[in-house]
Structure 1
């Protein structure tokens, strides 16, 4: 399987190039461009959340622990003394970083259900919901956010499959087929639940046809063709 740096760099490169292309069409603004790159890069690390010792899971739980502890202190800051708040901070951080982390890593298996296409599709579609219904972002931007998160995850899964091929001997490694998963019989009940949830999310999703009409409008892409090459190079090609 590919290592952390490979996943990070490739996801960032693919997300950056794709987001820049969409940005030049005018379909997303400056902040949308930055968020798409960030989400695509984050998506490139998401599938390794089921690995107990991976860098993404450690960073993720460290960040979540700080946020959880900070939230507790902010909620109780007016009711508790300084020493009590310090104790609450440490207790909150320790609970998330060690108790919840232990439970999570015990319940998950590397390259299990989390390391699958339907699970990542749920995360991507879920972010579209949050962006559109909760944060009230524009429809087009919300769909791009979810698609970039999902696309980054697909980059991760594709890299893992690519690294499962021994190119020097042109043969498949034992890990082949364990990354880009749509279904595993041993986890059939989990996959049944995933696909049921995915079907519900698709049914109630923000209007995709409207998004598709906006993206398929030829006007933005005509503008992209105009801005594709520097003016000096265009003059040379004429």
Structure 2
């Protein structure tokens, strides 16, 4: 299985290159380009959130715990004294960091349902829907964010599968097939529920046609071609 550094580098490198192509084609602006690269990099770490001792899950829960504490005191700031707000922040942080984290780690198994293609598809569509419906982002850019997150997660799963092949001894390790999976019979009911959620997100997802037409527009690819040609050849 690939380590944290490999997943981070792989997700960042691929999303960075494709992000530049997308930016040079005029499909996204500078800020949206950075968000695409960020989404791809995060996607490159996401499948390991089911590992109790992984760096992504620890970092994620640390940030979520801090954010939860601040969200609580911001919500009740006008009703509480300074001491009460401090206590509320501490309680919110501790509950999220230790109670919720403990429950999450007990309910998840490394390389379980989270470490699968349909689960990553759900997360990518969730990001697309959140940006479109809640953050008032255009459908095209929302789809780009979701696509980059999904791409990063596929890089992660692909790297894990690649590391399960022992080229020297020409054999597959026991971990082969446990990374990039679509279904597992021992978890059939979980997968059925997961695919039901996936269908729901597909149904409520923002319009896909504008995004599809944009990336298939010949003018888009002419812009990329022109940006790649040396200036001397353009004269």
Bucket of the pairwise TM-score, normalised by the shorter protein: over 0.9
Map 1:181-200 → 2, pairs under 5 A: 181-200=181-200
The answer as to 2:134 corresponding to 1:121 is no
Inter-partner Cα distance in structure 1 for 2:23 and 2:35: 11
- Paired residue for 1:106? 106
Q: Distance in 2 between matches of 1:108 and 1:96?
A: 16
Normalised TM-score (structure 2): 0.97
Q: TM-score scaled to structure 1, two decimals?
A: 0.96
* 1:202 has 2:166 as partner: no
Residue 162 of structure 2 aligns with which residue? Answer: 162
Summarize deviations over 1:177-196 as a string: whole Å, max 9, x none: 00001000000001001111
Contact 2:214 2:220 in 1 (8 A): no
Matches within 5 A, 1:18-167: 18-167=18-167
- Structure 2 unmatched runs, 5+: none
Q: Distance in 2 between matches of 1:41 and 1:19?
A: 11
Residue by residue, what CA displacement relative to the aligned partner does 1:28-69 show, whole Å, maximum 9, x if unpaired?
Answer: 111110000000000000000000000000000000000000
- Which secondary structure state, in structure 1, belongs to the residue aligned with residue 94 of structure 2? helix
**Residue 228 of structure 2 aligns to a residue in which SS?**
coil
Separation of aligned partners in 1, 2:112 and 2:78: 44
Q: How many residue pairs get matched?
A: 235
Per-residue CA distance 1:164-218 (angstroms, 9 max, x = gap) = 1112212100100000010000000010011111112112221112211111010
CA distance in 2 between partners of 1:139 and 1:74 (Å) = 31
Distance in 1 separating the partners of 2:5 and 2:211: 33
- CA-based RMSD: 1.2
Stretches of 4+ moved more than 3 A in 1? Answer: none
Q: Show the counterpart of 1:13.
A: 13
SS in 2 for 1:11: helix
Q: Which residue of 2 aligns with 1:226?
A: 226
Stretches of structure 1 that go unaligned for 5 or more consecutive residues are: none
CA–CA distance in structure 1, aligned partners of residues 139 and 30 of structure 2: 16
